[in-house]
Structure 1
């Protein structure tokens, strides 16, 4: 399978879906990963495609004109007080746009509740031929590989999968050995980035790096090659927010550089390319 790349929302945060799509196409990406589900964060723009018909029309036009596809939409969180049914309008639009996956994460400390709600999200997504990829996040309730696999095993949904974010994998201190044991069918895409190797002990610094301080692939301290060579070849969604570089270069050039550096890294370090070079 040829390597394919998507531009993730956090890399160009606050960029509307149509503009993000054109930007991704000009930079050389194969997909876009959109965030039409509003999270209610301070100063977060509302890019709901289900409620904004003009935005939806312009997004459809951008996808049609560029030929790009939507890899996934985010973020269908499991959290106390959130009814999974509120995600249905965006799931319906995602299916209309040809999206493949829904990204989810868990922010409730109630395990039984989390399993039940995650299962509901999967059932809802299945009606629209979408898979649900569960991501663990260092600052969330489910924050490591073992606990994520526990939820997936308990939910027992055939359209549920595991989404590894390379930054989060490193921060959770998960191991390549454990990753290698995960059933290959659970992987459908990966969040690709790098970050400083030292794990912050300060919560605010951890959040800062997650939101705006990640590194170009190959320029941080994470064993990115170890991760990508332990899982099947899947699309790589570049989620690499770096405010300093984005402010310096502008979003489009920053997005292009993220992709160029990722491809350069893969050429030297991915298992598939190493095998080709040995022939």
Structure 2
């Protein structure tokens, strides 16, 4: 059976210590934390500059047994400088994290390969994998592009993150998953979405960050997708929905998300 991690985006208002407590109360094995924002001014919890919150998070991990699995996020743009992320890696090692979500924003793919390889090299001593997530509004638009970059970099801790929503919206194909070497797959993110896809980048971003559906509620063929992935692959439950979280409360939403995720992954 896979392990399940509560993704930060599912409960974005919770700081890392609260994420650990929430994951423990709602039945998750692990949690993910967002240390750097997706965009300037966006929500993130900079444990690199908050030693008190870092200590509290470590204490809650000890008390509950819930581990931190993944860290968010590092963006590779044209001016990428890996040195500025060393404190991020150090905190990740203290948390015992295993994976880092990486986004690619550089349209020059040759330069992105070089920067991605440098990132992998810098992360390796900290026991972290660099999991490149393809998203249709970024420079890594689909699975083919992610495969090219990770293959060209050829690093032992390189990886590809398959997010169910982005997989569906990028017109990637189930058959392509067989092209991903097993050692590049460290975890996958589950959610669902409606059959009608947004037609603009703005619409895609809004749906991804605040309007995802519980697994089984939408039109993504999650069971077929998970049949094509390793059976024991860790699952990150990433299902933000601003309206429904406000209505239900974050704890009820996190619990419902886990139940729905298991219903798709474990009953294939």
Provide the TM-score with structure 1 as the length reference: 0.92
* 2:176 alignment partner in structure 1: 178
RMSD of the TM alignment (CA)? 1.3
Within a 5 Å distance, the mapping from 1:77-116 to structure 2 comes to: 77-116=75-114
Equivalent residue in structure 2 for 1:131, among 129, 132, 141: 129
User: Within the alignment, does 1:29 sit opposite 2:28 as a pair?
Assistant: yes
Q: Secondary structure at the match of 1:41?
A: coil
| Contact in 2 for aligned 1:37/1:87 (Cα 8 Å) | no
Q: Distance in 2 between matches of 1:247 and 1:227?
A: 30
- Indicate the residue corresponding to 2:197 in structure 1: 199
Checking the alignment, whether the CA contact within 8 Å between 2:34 and 2:44 is kept in structure 1 is: no
Pairs aligned (count):
267
Q: What are the equivalent positions in structure 2 for 1:1-279 lying under 5 Å apart?
A: 2-42=1-41, 44-233=42-231, 234-268=233-267, 270=268
Deviations along 1:211-239, one digit per CA (max 9) or x if unpaired, are 11111001110011111110102110011
Q: TM-score, normalised by structure 2?
A: 0.96
Distance in 2 (alpha carbons) for counterparts of 1:41 and 1:163: 23
Bigger Cα displacement from structure 2, 90-99 vs 201-210: 201-210
Q: SS in structure 1 opposite 2:31?
A: strand
CA distance in 1, matches of 2:34, 2:111: 25
Question: What is the DSSP-based 3-state SS (H/G/I as helix, E as strand, rest coil) of the residue aligned with 1:102?
Answer: strand
Separation in structure 2 between the aligned mates of residue 156 and residue 207 of structure 1, nearest angstrom: 30
Runs of 4+ in 1 over 6 A off after TM superposition: none
Q: In structure 2, what is the Cα distance between the partners aligned to 1:197 and 1:267? A: 23
**Distance in 2, Cα, partners of 1:241 & 1:197:** 18
Q: Specify every segment of 5 or more residues in structure 1 that has no aligned partner in the other structure, as ranges.
A: 271-279
1:78-115 CA distances to partner (integer Å, 9 max, x unpaired)?
01223121111011111111111111110110112111
Matches of 1:260 and 1:61, distance apart in 2: 27
User: Following the alignment from structure 1 to structure 2, what is the Cα–Cα distance between the partners of residues 156 and 88?
Assistant: 21
Deviates most, 167-176 or 11-20? 11-20
**Contact preservation (8 Å) 2:226, 2:265:** no
